[in-house]
Amino acid sequence: MEIGGTNVMITGGCGGIGLEMGRLFAEAGKDVVLVDAKIESGAALARDNARVRCVQCDLSSASDIEWVLKDEPADILINNVGISPKFDDAGNRVRTWTMTLDQWNAVMATNVTSFFLCTRLCLPHMMERKFGRIVNIASYAARTGGYQAAVHYTTSKAAILGFTKSLAREVAPYGVRVNAINPGRIESPMTRDVPKEVSEAIIPQIPAGRLGVPRDIANVALFLCSDFADYMTGTAVEVNGGLYVGP
């Protein structure tokens, strides 16, 4: 399996899944930039691997993205950043009828608009080189309505599936391939905002008999950026242990 290009940008790169993807791409000989608002957790990987560096950026801010990342060309872009707020400041479960516009917009800015902005920044370089790989991390929640996620998160991930398909058609003639991954229930910082028993309660519904781990997602991202996936574009790969097996 061979992976083209030299530079990899991973947004949300200092979270559980982002760090694992960064580790695997660095092991594959790529220069990796981990982009995140908080970079402390990525600093250890960067210290241990000269191919990895961290860039601090508020990915909910259009101005931050355009200023901080404007000189960061990438042959491979992994749009991975995401937030999934489930409770308000008082600890109440967020519901559609209690959700504020600010709460809605905050999720859309991070989970959707950042994907568009980072992609727009990277595409000219990819199109000029006639090579590029973009992987958008969505969620099985876009297929099922989710398990614990609120409506703004689920809606944002459904939007990413549409973004993936439309973008893939636009840029295929330029040698750029665009695919998505729909993770199932993954043991990561994002899923630790609910009690452990909540996540464990879903395990009996998973044919594989376990929660996913970041390596499960990172392995598929590596595959989608390799020559093994040259004829794949505009698709979403379901990585959920059989939790969702629909069309």
**Active site positions, annotated:** 153
- Give the whole-angstrom CA distance, residue 138 versus residue 238: 10
Q: Please report the DSSP string for 50-88 in residue order.
A: TTEEEEE--TT-HHHHHHHSTT---SEEEE-------B-
- Give the whole-angstrom CA distance, residue 228 versus residue 15: 27
From the DSSP assignment, how many helices (H) and strands (E) are in the chain? 9, 7
- Give the whole-angstrom CA distance, residue 122 versus residue 136: 14
Q: What is the β-pairing status of strands 76-79 and 7-11?
A: parallel
Residue ranges of E strands in the chain: 7-11, 31-36, 52-56, 76-79, 132-137, 176-183, 236-239
Burial of 67 (C-beta count, 10 Å sphere; 0-12/13-18/19+): exposed
Q: Which of 237, 141, 126, 218 is nearest to 180 (CA)?
A: 237
